[in-house]
Amino acid sequence: MTATDIRTAAIARALFAARFGADAVGTWSAPGRVNLIGEHTDYNDGFVLPFAIQHRTHVALAPRADGVFRVRVASTFDDATVEVALDDLDEIFPAQRDDVPEWARYPLGVAWALLAASGTDPRAVTGVDLAFASDVPVGAGLSSSAAIEGATAVALADTWGISLDRVALAKVGRRAENEAVGAPTGIMDQMASLLGRADAAIFLDCRSLDAQVIDLGFADAGLELVVIDTGVKHSHATGGYGERRAACERGAAALGVPALRDVSVDDLPRLAELVDDVTYRRVRHVVTENQRVLDTVRTLREQGPTAIGDLLVASHASMRDDFEISVPELDTAVEAALAAGAVGARMTGGGFGGAAIALVAHDKVLAVTDAATAAFAAAGFAAPTIFTVTPSAGAARD
């Protein structure tokens, strides 16, 4: 555990003691993620290449000593402790989810989806108390939500003796996000948080859910992965994300295929005859992005990370121009990083705000940081938060 992990886990334990008047039996944690490439491809059955980062959410947990079949959740984000009966979860989700504060829908949604996925009777498990603390930046597009889901899933599965594998736990997290929170997202973030490995990315086929560990070799190549958090907040439960997903489904339907995974660059001219220009460009992003993921994996294997810069830049252009999910702050971050000598840069995550990433040689990290900060000031944007991330291990008991 890093010093930050030790501190954050201690905060979770202290919150547990303060809210529940007892000691937790342990802490579990799961990381946020950066997506290296492959954006809005996951719910199109396509390819993604994310990695888990060193920022983690920790949960302190203890089974309830009083034999009551209830779950209580507490978080440093909110003064209120939320309590529900385990056998009410089925009524709350999804129909009455609005009765639960939004942050609590993530852990309670995982409890609900975990019991359902494993066919466990809520009366056959013990009541539990959970207290969360996190150092994953919220709203930065680094999947703070998948970190909560992953930590909750491994903690509850251990405590309740539920032996689902990591892919099944990722599906539990996605179901919580889709149905308990109401964000129509794919499975990339949960897979990255549960399967992450140090120094490696996860090359995921989102149709088969086959996951391969791909060495990144950033350190050996003298590279750092710099995150430029624009501070522009986004929510995938509302607006643009769902609209993009709907456009992708329209495109697949027009071509008569189950998902855009089944469309190649060669099919695009035919599609242009069938759909409007906006739908066409949405599809073109997904189809070309899938190819860029495959090209990135091949390039990493054959030439190493210094050679992937152009693919990152092309990915950003496609999201800016065809998928239209970038914002001026993200474009500014990418342009400033490239002008200051980054190997490559792109926005990461669902878009409409959040963070950009830049792959940068060690000796240029300060120049990139200064350039992004100066460009934001010149454009009249609030100062970005800039830090480096390290590909890290996935969810585990601490």
List contacts with ligand GLA (CB under 6 A).
Answer: 35, 39-40, 42-43, 185-186, 188-189, 236, 349-350
Decide the pairing of beta strands 70-75 and 128-134. parallel
Minimal distance, residue 237 CB to ligand GLA, in Å: 11
- Rounded distance between C-alpha atoms, residue 77 and residue 120, angstroms: 30
Q: Which is nearer to ligand GLA, 190 or 369 (CB)?
A: 190
Pick the closest to residue 225 from 335, 326, 308, 320 (CA basis): 308
Q: Which is nearer to ligand GLA, 13 or 282 (CB)?
A: 282
Instruction: List active site positions.
Output: 189
Contacts of 246 (CB under 8 A, 6+ apart): none
Minimal distance, residue 189 CB to ligand GLA, in Å: 5
Q: Which is nearer to ligand GLA, 54 or 185 (CB)?
A: 185
Q: Which is nearer to ligand GLA, 26 or 184 (CB)?
A: 184
Q: Which is nearer to ligand GLA, 133 or 325 (CB)?
A: 325
Pick the closest to residue 315 from 38, 33, 34, 35 (CA basis): 38
Provide long-range contacts, Cβ within 8 A and 24+ apart, for 219-223.
220/304, 221/304, 221/305, 221/306, 222/361, 222/362, 223/305, 223/306, 223/343, 223/359, 223/360, 223/361, 223/362
Number of CB atoms found within 10 A of residue 59's CB: 31
Q: Which is nearer to ligand GLA, 37 or 365 (CB)?
A: 37
Minimal distance, residue 153 CB to ligand GLA, in Å: 16
Minimal distance, residue 359 CB to ligand GLA, in Å: 18
Minimal distance, residue 243 CB to ligand GLA, in Å: 13
Minimal distance, residue 366 CB to ligand GLA, in Å: 29
How far CA 201 is from CA of 188, 227, 246, 275, in Å, comes to 12, 16, 28, 35
